[in-house]
Structure 1
């Protein structure tokens, strides 16, 4: 039987919505990931417990495509190198086993927090540590990652696979979790409700007067996709503070699960 935490992580990956509505005039088709019955897994999924979140999501996508789709993986994580310099990486090249059509799929799995204090509306969806944002990621996809397929340096790989760039359809699987400020009205933001996964607040706002009676848990990053109702070990406010303070001091924003009676919430406590 697959380890429970891993199964919950995989379920979290599958159920994280795609951001297609937010991508604007994006010239690539979405690669759809459908829900599956996890009780009927054909094989077990294994990988090292130390694998970071991004690589973990790549492994989940690989597993999904191989066992639950009509696509065959003909290449993945292919680095394109020219004169000892890495130009970029193609995430997945897939071939439909029925139609024979080939697609290039870029996989993205992200967490974004809406910061109304950022001057430019387009840049307000920022990473939990304020080091990246949604706009930059979309620009990088359009300007670097997708054009990589058509570069002369990529041709030897395509020739080895017996395909040409012109016959390849480019697709994206962009799964993202969006978090609003704790007291910010959601109707003020043009965002589909199913994309909102939780809230965020600053360290100074996380006071014992406001939150001292609740119970919490701060999962390790590989467990961020898991729903909090699967958690069985809960901490007091003081015990949580002891757990998360080292992270905040290192300018890392922890994700926190909160339990109030039979209700569960997810939020980020940010250092900035």
Structure 2
């Protein structure tokens, strides 16, 4: 089964998800207003991208060439590659990535994406993030209650760093020195572009597949479930009633899955559960799992549920 870190096998689908799937943050929330990308901007870019995406689906070579120039096994880096490709094509302008910000010879930050809005003449500064967080408090849903699959970061702390530090780099002389000369004297617009999803304890998820999201999170953001592998877990997991299952490597987390009817990676539930149990016992790591149902006469399997299977000891460390 394919689960080792490797380049995504579905770059067009991932790009489509980046453009067309909902944003993680609610830009109308006062904490993010004017600093997260606006719904109006995002919708306009989506509309501009429809025909271009269809053409790229027929001829994906430009996208493949772009990605092959800087291959990476990091999801965040891959996400930035896709965003830069999209922005450069939609704005028809060059895009600068990973501009280090230095002070007294040491790096104090980095500008994720810089570009130019051809229509307004404004310089564009984007700070990007794609993150997945699991709810840890059963009786409430606040930003601080969601931690990463490895329990090494927390949603509220990530957003605090994003909005209080990263997006403010261009308010400093050090940040401005990192800007290419052709953009340095233009008015800047700095925005956060955040995607990802939230995952809830499986029993709560089964009660309501539309659980409450924290204030500041888009109500349309992708949601899923999580479950520790314990002696009682198989009975709870079987209530999901998917016909086939597969694991999803990290660089393929972005997009919804469709598989051919004879895909050898798809396993029946009992065999898949045992495989995951052994893998977690050996590797002690979270696994993102995808459940499929038949798409009827098409002969395809389509994703109907996704969630994390976790070691019984998760979370090992709670971030502070």
TM bracket, shorter-chain basis: 0.7 to 0.9
Aligned pair count? 268
Deviations 1:46-105 (A, max 9, x none): 2346532111111110111112x2263442210112234210100111211122111211
Which of 42, 55, 64 is matched with 1:40 structurally? 55
CA distance in 2, matches of 1:145, 1:40: 35
Does 1:235 pair with 2:231? Answer: no
CA distance in 2, matches of 1:210, 1:57: 30
CA distance in 1, matches of 2:190, 2:236: 51
Matches within 5 A, 1:207-246: 207=234, 210-211=237-238, 214-230=243-259, 232=263, 233-236=265-268, 237-242=270-275, 245-246=278-279
Contact 2:280-2:310 within 8 A present in 1 as well: no
1:265 aligned residue: 305
Please identify, of 196-205 and 98-107, the stretch whose mean Cα deviation from structure 2 is larger.
196-205
Q: Where do 5+ consecutive residues of structure 1 fail to align?
A: none
RMSD over equivalenced CA pairs, Å = 3.0
Q: Where do 5+ consecutive residues of structure 2 fail to align?
A: 1-7, 296-301, 315-320
Compute the TM-score of the two structures, normalised by the length of structure 1.
Answer: 0.84
Compute the TM-score of the two structures, normalised by the length of structure 2.
Answer: 0.72
Which of 85, 90, 96 is matched with 1:63 structurally? 85
Contact 2:101-2:107 within 8 A present in 1 as well: yes
Pick the structure with more strand per residue. Answer: 1
1:170 aligned residue: 190
Please identify, of 202-211 and 106-115, the stretch whose mean Cα deviation from structure 2 is larger.
202-211
Contact 1:218-1:254 within 8 A present in 2 as well: yes
CA distance in 1, matches of 2:278, 2:16: 30
Please identify, of 197-206 and 15-24, the stretch whose mean Cα deviation from structure 2 is larger.
15-24
1:230, CA displacement in angstroms? 3.5
Contact 2:245-2:292 within 8 A present in 1 as well: yes
Give 4+ residue runs of structure 1 displaced > 4 Å after superposition: 117-120, 260-263
1:238, CA displacement in angstroms? 2.4
